Structure formats: structure tokens, C-alpha cells
Structure 1
Amino acid sequence: MTNINQSIPDRSVDRARIPPFAYVLTICIGVIGSNSLALGPIAPEVARSLGADVPGVMTASAAFGLGTAVSAVFLGRLIDRYGPRRMLAAALLLLATGLGGSALAPSLAFLVATQLVVGLAAGIALPSIYTLASVIAPAGRESETIGLVLTGWTLSMVAGVPLSAAIADLTGWRTVYVIVAAATMIACAVVKFAAVQEGATGRVTSPLAALSVRGVAPLLVACAAFMAAFYGVYAYIGEHLHAALGLPVTANGLIAVSYGFGFGAAAFLDRLIDRFGAGRLLPLIFLAVGGVYVAMAVVSGFYAGMLVVVFLWGLANHFGLNVLIMRLTGLDPARRGAIMGLNSGVTYLALFVGTIGFGVVYARAAFFVLPLVAAGLMLLAAFAVATARR
């Protein structure tokens, strides 16, 4: 992490350009996000095609999350040994293979198995991408570079999800996976032959050894709280809009677009993080995210208010994720791959726990309780990162 506190501005930093390879990493995030987010909208079509029900189809999404978590924790450490670019290229090849298998799936069991393979590949790809983003970032522009890469999630949410639904309606759900697989293969070729200085490779680090790096544990606690809050609330917004507010399913699409635009718009402000320092900002950012959840609880009965708050939610979450990655990748450069593997593993475990846990709460209370619970988790996250600073 670099915090610029110089009395005389360093104009060489101002002239430093973000490498074009950062845009390749953005696309890589986009294709991974498109797979992880696409199954929900096309699940009814998939269920009809495979003779299954929608909950059964969504077990494929659970398999993807499980594969990602396990792979990130236990295989992410190989990034430090073989280098993030090489591991990313291999992961993208495996990802494309799994996506191609999903397109050809003759049964639900086969689809679940192929999505497990896709998850295993994503568990290597995501920490490789985050590691590369921190390595190629020019001095003084770390947060801008990571923020640019993170906009890949915006691409998948704003463009990938609506396009997936449209393509499934026009040509069938299998075409969605064919297109994403083709895009993944193109990204794989670019990554494999790109000339990128990725730093020296080191020894394979065990997950427990990476966890022992000072500052990692409290930041991972913050990551777990942050992600559980997001996935727990996001999973039930659509149901709330439909069941409580009587809105059509299409209203969910506007919520996703609003969140995506907010997440992407924050990229234009990422340079402020480099100016003021990630360590000082992260507790404040998490408190701000908590404030957004409180506002969401207040306006939960009004669709227009929800659209505005969800935009702010995306804006604040972008800053939180950006700075969290900056803090983690800056703790021990020799163990970045293992640390980011732990981060991705915690993220997808939080997806599972947050979705299940918030579902239990939602079954017993109104939706507005969920963002209040999420606000409490953000207080925990802010306390954890404040502890990490000390």
C-alpha cells in the first residue's frame, strides 16, 4: 500500500499510466461474474429443459460457490509458487472447459458437476486477478488500478445478467454458456501471451501460514461480515419487491442495474483512496456502508427510495472491496496469492452463510430487519479493521 504524503507533488506519479493489461483483468472478472450471476435469471428455462425444478437448478449455483471457496483456500497458495499470470491462464482454460460442459449438460447432475469445475477454476482465477492488479499498479495509483479491475463486476451485473436473460429467451439457455465460454477462451489467450512483469515466485505457503501473517485474521473477519451482509440482503430484495410491494419481476432488474451503476461510478473516485490512505479510510468506509443499510431499512417500503439507496450501496461497497483488497495484498507481498486465496474462500463461504442465515431471519420478520442486521455486521467489520491497524 502506498500513501502519498509529500509536500512536493511527485509529477512522475501523475504521469504513470495504468497498464492496458488492467483492462484484460477487468474482462476476466466480467466473465466470471457473468457465470456466477447468470443462472438465477435463466433458472426457469434451465429447469424446463432438464426436467427439474428451479430450487434443484440453483444447487448448481451452490456447487459453484462451494468449488470456489475450497479451491481459493487450498489452491490459491500455488499462485505464489508459479506466478499469478500463469495460474490465471490455466484457471481460465479450466473455466472455459467447465462452461462448455455446462452448455452441453444433458441432465441436472451433469450441470451441477460442471459448475463445480467452474467454481474450482474461479477459486484460482479470482485471487490471481487481484494479485496481478496489485502487482501491475503504478506507484500511487494502486486503488485506481484495483478499482478499474473491480468494475468487471459492474459489467457482469449491468450487461451480463440482462443479456443472459435476453439470449436465453431468444436462442436458449445453452447459448449463454457458449458465449461466456468463448469470451473466456479469448481472455485466456490474451493472458497467456501478455508480457507482464509479475514479480519473483516463491515457496508454496499453507493456508494456516498465510493466516498467521499479522493483520490477515482481523481483515478476513471484516471480509466475512462485509460479504455476509451484502449477499444476505441482496438475496431477498427481489422477493421483498415482489411479495411485499407487489412489483413485477422486471423491477429486480432495475435494482441490479442501479447497484451496478453505483459500483462502477465509484471507480472515478478511487484516486481519493491513494490520497488519504487505505488504512485510515477502511473503518470509515465500513461505517458508511452500515449507514446505507440503515437508510435501506427506512425506505424499504418505497421502490423509488430503494433504487436511490441501492445506487449508494453499490458506490460504498466498491470502496469497501477496493480498500480491503489493498490492505490484504499489502501485508506480505511474498504470500499475496495465499492471502488472496483466503480472501476469496471467506467471500464465498460468507455467501453461503449469509444467504442461509438471512433467510432464516427473513422467514420470521419483515425485510427491513435484514438491512438492520447487515448494519450490525458492518459495525463488526469496522471494529475488526480498526484492530488490524493497531
Structure 2
Amino acid sequence: MTNINQSISSLSVERARIPPVAFVLTACIGVIGSNSLALGPIAPEVARSLGVDAPAAMTASAAFGLGTAASAVFLGRLIDRYGAGRMLAAALLVLAIGLGGSAAAPALPFLVSAQLLVGIAAGIALPAIYTLAATVAPAGRESETIGLVLTGWTLSMVAGVPLSAAIADFAGWRMVYAVVAAATLIACAAVRFAAVQEVSKGKATSPFAVLGVGGVVPLLAACAAFMAAFYGVYGYIGDHLHAALGLPVSANGLVAASYGLGFGAAAFLDRLIDRFGASRLLPVIFLAVAGVYVSMSAASGSYTAMLGVVFLWGLANHFGLNVLIMRLTALDPARRGAIMGLNSGVTYLALFAGTIGFGEVYAAAGFSALPVAAAGLMLTAVFSAALAPR
């Protein structure tokens, strides 16, 4: 009888194990994040090579963001029709083509066009990844699985950004995109041959029809506030460190690493989310993020204090993003693709709005006002998350 019980117990542990495909999805996030973060550090070299100034070179990044937002909203729904695994593999192939085009771009318009194509592919890939993460997660380990996948952003921030700068120094900026393109092809092959149990495919839902699903609107409103706060503050930390604290530009790399390490370290605590419940925790987590922003405003005059607060910022934001994705993917499993497409679209529109809006505040009142404004947005996110039905 003891042997039988031990056998049943071992089978339960086996079923509860996070599947290997989750690590493949982590790598997919890593390559997408590496592209989205790569242009900033190498923009001066790109500008010199193409005969333009750095702000003009950064229009390629804007094209990527707009392409991602539009694609996620209007094409993410195809995930429900054709399956997340198939759409992810196709999107990664297009992503690799766009990255190859970026590496070979002879002039800025070609680079902008290539990055627009990369954005269109990313707008399909990201919701497909989040949909697959929710699909393959073992019962009771949903937050751990999604948290593992989200650490791909840590890989891109902690390893991808410094590596991109190093490759650009030694082999030129074109090699950066060539290396990311090769990594994307490897990820595409891994997705193609991974054993993914697809959910039953349905019809491609209108991107706005899912707004009628209970909980979608308040959670997307919370997402907009959450992401606008993040991008609005993160976009101006580097300039604050250089202009106000007199630090070299390289100091921003350590800030990015501190945030990424905090974001990644939170993955070891994700099991607590499954224990206490995502719907109960989301308003509390957003309130904690607001508290971090208030601390950041107080610490803005000290580089050492900022590094510590930024680590906590990454930790809290990981929990916020994890639980937000869990809540959204659980609302209507048959239409996860369309819902996550809207989520990605809102995220990248919030990037645009947060960067522009917070730029006005930064110019008028300095950096310390930005975390205060972000804390106000997070209170809006708390209220919106509390409105969503459990």
C-alpha cells in the first residue's frame, strides 16, 4: 500500500512540474525584449553610420512600438483562430526577417520599415506567448509558470542591453541585429518542435468584441495606468542621473541591471500568488507599487538609494505584471488571444502616452515629480483592479 501511495505521489509531482516549453517561451520574450531595448545604447553608432542624428535614428524604435500596438490589437485575435503555438512560430519567423532587414538597412527609411515589420511580428508574438503560458501552466502553478516566462524581460535587460553595446563596439551595430535574428530563428525552431497542447481553436473574435467580457475594461484601464507610470518614469531616469546628479551615462546601465535583477528575483516568490489568489492580491500589489514610487521620489537625490529603490521597483512590477496577466487570461479562455492582444496594444500605447506626458512634467518640475505622478496613476490602477469581478 505504501508503494502504491508513493507511486501516486510521484505522479502528482510529475504532473505539477512546469513543462519545458515554458523555458522556450522565456527565451522568446528574451529575443523580443532584446530588440526593443537594443536601439537606445547603439543609437549614436546607428546615427553615424546612416548619416543622421540620434533622435532621427530613434524613430525606428517608435515605428517598432506603433507596429506592435496596432498588430496586437487587430491581429492578436487570430491566435484564437489558428492556435497560439502556430501563430507564435509564424510571428518569430517574420520577426527574424525584420531583424535581418534591420541589419542590412542601407539608410534610415529602410531601418524604420524593418523595425515596423519587427513590431508587427512582436504584436502577434507577445499575446501568443502569454496565451501559451496560461495554457501550459500546471494547475496550482499558474503564477510560477507565467512568472518564469516573464523573466525573459530580465534576460533582455540584464544581459541583452550590455551585450548589444559590447557587440556594437567590437563588430558594429549591424551585428547586433544579426545576432538577435539568429537567436530568433533558434527560438522559432524550438517553438515549432515543442510539444504544445493547443486549446480548441475558435473563431477570430473582433478585437473590440471582447471588451464586453466582464472584467476586461477595468483590467485594461489598470494596465494602461500601470504601464504609463512605468515608462513615464523609466524613460527619464538616465537623464536625471546625468544632468542632476552629474553621473556618467554608463551609470544608467547599473540602474537597468538593478531593475532587471529585482524583476527576476520576484520569480522565486511567485508561488505566493497561487497561495493567496490573484484577484485578491492585484489591488494590494498595485498599492505597493505606488509606495515604491513615493520612496523613489524621496530617494531621487542619491544614486545609491535609487539603486535600492529601483531593485524594489522591479520586484513589485514583476508581481503586478504577473497577476495582471493571470487575471486577464482567466476571464475567457476561448478568447485569450484577442484579450491579450488588447493588453499588448494598451501597453505600447501607454509607452507612447507615458513618455510624452511625463516628459512635460519632467521639463517643468524635474525628476522627483515623476514618481509622485506615477503613484497617482497607480492609485487609479488600484481602483480599476478592485472594480474587476473576481
**TM-score, normalising length: structure 2:** 0.97
Instruction: Summarize deviations over 1:74-120 as a string: whole Å, max 9, x none.
Output: 00000000000000000000000000000000000100000000000
Whole-angstrom distance in 1 between the partners of 2:300 and 2:10:
47
Write the distance in 1 (CA, Å) between the matches of 2:191 and 2:10. Answer: 32
Measured in 2, the distance between the counterparts of 1:217 and 1:121 equals 25
Q: Which amino acid aligns with 2:41?
A: P
- Structure 2 gaps of 5+ residues are 1-8
**d(CA) in 1 for partners of 2:276, 2:16:** 19
The residue correspondences of 1:10-21 to structure 2 (distance < 5 A) are: 12=12, 16-21=16-21
What is the RMSD of the two structures over their aligned residues, measured on CA atoms?
A: 1.2
Partner of 2:134 in structure 1? 134
Residue type matched to 1:86 in 2? R
Query: How do 1:296-311 residues align onto structure 2 when only pairs under 5 Å count?
Result: 296-311=296-311
Q: CA deviation at 1:210?
A: 1.0
Q: Where does 1:256-295 land on structure 2 (aligned, <5 Å)? A: 256-295=256-295
- Partner Cα separation in structure 2 for residue 359 and residue 218 of structure 1: 26
Q: CA deviation at 1:193?
A: 1.8
Residues 217-236 of structure 1: pairs in structure 2 closer than 5 A: 217-236=217-236
119-128 or 186-195: bigger deviation: 186-195
Residue aligning to 2:246: 246
Q: Which amino acid aligns with 2:108?
A: L
Q: Note the C-alpha offset of 1:195.
A: 1.6
1-structure distance, mates of 2:263, 2:161 = 15
Q: Which runs of 4+ in 1 moved over 4 A?
A: none
Counterpart in the other structure of 1:105: 105
Deviation, 1:192, is: 1.2
Deviations 1:142-181 (A, max 9, x none): 0000000000000000000000001000110000000000
Task: Trace 1:1-390 onto structure 2 (pairs within 5 A).
Answer: 12=12, 16-389=16-389
Residues of 1 paired with 2:340 and 2:329: CA distance?
7
Cα deviation digits, residues 115-146 of structure 1 (max 9, x gap): 00000000000000000000000000000000
Q: Which amino acid aligns with 1:59?
A: T
Give yes or no for contact 1:287–1:382 (8 Å, CA) kept in 2. yes
- Structure 1: how far apart are the matches of 2:13 and 2:68? 36
Please give the secondary structure, in 1, of the residue aligned with 2:197: coil
Which residue identity lines up with residue 299 of structure 2 in the other structure? Answer: V
- Tell me if the contact between 2:154 and 2:263 (Cα under 8 Å) persists in the aligned partners: yes
1:206-247 deviation per Cα after TM superposition (whole angstroms, max 9, x unaligned): 011111111000000000000000000000000000000000
Alpha-carbon deviation of 1:15? 5.8
| Partner Cα distance (2:251, 2:10) in 1 | 48
Q: Which runs of 5+ in 1 are unaligned?
A: 1-8
State the TM-score, normalizing by the size of structure 1: 0.97
Mark the CA change 1:383 to 1:87 in structure 2 (over 3 Å): closer, same or farther: same
Conservation of the 8 A alpha-carbon contact between 2:15 and 2:138:
no
Q: Is the 8 A contact 2:146 2:322 kept in 1?
A: yes
Equivalent residue letter for 1:266: A
Q: How much has 1:12 moved relative to structure 2?
A: 2.9
What is the rounded CA distance, in whole Å, between the counterparts of 1:380 and 1:10 in structure 2? 45
Question: Which letter does structure 1 place at the counterpart of 2:20?
Answer: P
Q: 1:206 & 1:253 partners in 2: Cα distance?
A: 41
Letter in 2 for 1:205: T
Q: Counterpart amino acid of 1:378?
A: M
Amino acid at match of 1:306: M
Q: Indicate if the aligned counterparts of 1:13 and 1:139 stay in contact, CA closer than 8 A.
A: no
Shift of 1:14: 8.4
Deviation at 1:389, TM superposition (A): 2.9
Q: Confirm or deny: 8 A CA contact 1:255 1:310 kept in the other structure.
A: yes
**Structure 2 contact 214–389 (Cα < 8 Å) conserved:** no
Structure 1 counterpart of 2:311, one-letter code = F
Structure 1 residue aligned with 2:5: none
Q: CA deviation at 1:190?
A: 1.2
Aligned residues: 382
> How much does 1:13 deviate?
6.3
Q: Percent identity?
A: 80
Q: Tell me, in whole angstroms, the C-alpha distance in 2 between the residues paired with 1:12 and 1:292.
A: 39
* Cα separation, 2, equivalents of 1:328 and 1:11: 30
Matched letter for residue 386 of structure 1: A
- The 2-side partners of 1:136 and 1:181 are apart by 26
Conserved? CA contact 1:225–1:377, under 8 Å: yes
For the residue of structure 2 that corresponds to 1:389, the secondary structure is coil
Q: Which amino acid letter does the alignment assign opposite residue 89 of structure 2?
A: A
